[in-house]
């Protein structure tokens, strides 16, 4: 090993050191909510899964807001946080809805293509975004993935109001429509960076949580 390579390794912080960064704490809290959403989807407690999904979005938005307001974060902190967000997003907005769709369909293989399309759209979108970033400072190309969870937890409110077969069609068509928008060329506003939108999401999250908690009783 050359002296230069050894110096580079000596400068590298410990992997676990990034856990003390507050935006990363928010990201990991969102990952915990995502895990709960996956767990409750698998066991069929869908109302609890909805609560986990919307809180995952809330923490996702919070970590960006906290990161922008923090002073003294190093370049490696920002790069690491961005990579952590990317990895968590594929789980929150790709794997989780795919598992939800399969579970709600009683693991019938006929729903595998729908779940695959949703997962594929999220993977393609995240890869595209990590390559090209925003269209400009205020807009995305295609619909941001967090909007999928915001929409799906709202749509699921009608699950108890519609016949099961009718709602299944509505739910799966909605998921496919959102996946199509994710990889489309339409320009959509960047909502998560605006403090007013974060406040509105907080209100929405608390409202959704209250509704689904009541349904669980």
What does the pLDDT look like over 16-37, one tens digit per residue?
Answer: 888 888 888 999 999 999 999 9
Reported confidence tier of residue 135, pLDDT bands at 50, 70, 90: low
What pLDDT does 8 receive?
Answer: 47
Q: What is the dihedral of CA 26, 31, 37, 43, to 10 degrees?
A: -140
Q: Going by CATH, does the domain composed of 19-216 fall within 2.40.30.170?
A: no
Residue 68 pLDDT more than 90? Answer: no
On whether the CB atoms of residues 190 and 144 are closer than 8 A, the answer is: yes
Lowest mean pLDDT: which of 9-13, 37-41, 110-114?
A: 9-13
* pTM of the predicted protein model: 0.90
Among 99, 215, 94, which Cα is nearest to 161's?
215
> The tokens 């269209």 sit on which residue?
135
- Please give the full DSSP string across 13-41, using - where no structure is assigned: PPGGGGGGSHHHHHHHHHHHHHHHHHHHH
**HSE-up of 13 (CA within 13 Å, CB side)?**
12
Characterize 168-179 residue by residue with b for buried, 16 or more Cβ atoms within 10 angstroms of its Cβ, and e for exposed.
Answer: beebbebbbebb
| Stretch 170-196: mean pLDDT | 92
Lowest mean pLDDT: which of 63-72, 117-126, 148-157, 161-170?
A: 63-72
Characterize 192-214 residue by residue with b for buried, 16 or more Cβ atoms within 10 angstroms of its Cβ, and e for exposed.
Answer: beeeeebeebeebbeebbebbee
As a whole number of Å, the CA-based R_g of the chain is 19
**HSE-up of 82 (CA within 13 Å, CB side)?**
14
Residue 133 pLDDT more than 50? Answer: yes
Alpha-carbon torsion (122, 175, 186, 79), positive or negative: negative
On whether the CB atoms of residues 170 and 158 are closer than 8 A, the answer is: yes
Could you tell me what percent of the chain has a pLDDT over 90? 68
What does the pLDDT look like over 36-66, one tens digit per residue?
Answer: 999 999 999 999 999 999 999 999 999 878 8
Q: Which two tokens stand for residue 217?
A: 């009783």
């Amino acid at each position: 090993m050359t002296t230069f390579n050894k110096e580079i390794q000596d400068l590298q912080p410990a992997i676990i050191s990034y856990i003390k960064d507050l935006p990363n704490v928010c990201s990991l809290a969102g990952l915990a909510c995502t895990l709960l959403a996956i767990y409750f989807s698998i066991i069929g407690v869908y109302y609890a899964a909805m609560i986990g999904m919307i809180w995952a979005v809330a923490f996702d938005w919070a970590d960006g807001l906290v990161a922008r307001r923090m002073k003294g974060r190093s370049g490696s902190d920002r790069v690491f946080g961005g990579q952590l967000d990317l990895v968590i997003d594929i789980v929150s907005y790709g794997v989780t809805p795919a598992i939800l769709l399969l579970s709600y369909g009683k693991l019938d293989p006929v729903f595998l293509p729908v779940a695959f399309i949703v997962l594929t759209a999220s993977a393609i979108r995240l890869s595209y975004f990590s390559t090209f970033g925003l269209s400009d400072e205020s807009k995305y190309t295609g619909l941001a993935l967090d909007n999928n969870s915001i929409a799906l937890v709202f749509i699921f409110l009608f699950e108890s109001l519609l016949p099961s077969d009718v709602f299944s069609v509505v739910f799966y068509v909605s998921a496919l429509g959102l996946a199509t928008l994710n990889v489309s060329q339409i320009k959509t506003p960047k909502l998560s960076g605006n403090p007013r939108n974060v406040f509105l999401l907080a209100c929405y999250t608390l409202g959704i949580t209250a509704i689904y908690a009541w349904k669980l009783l």
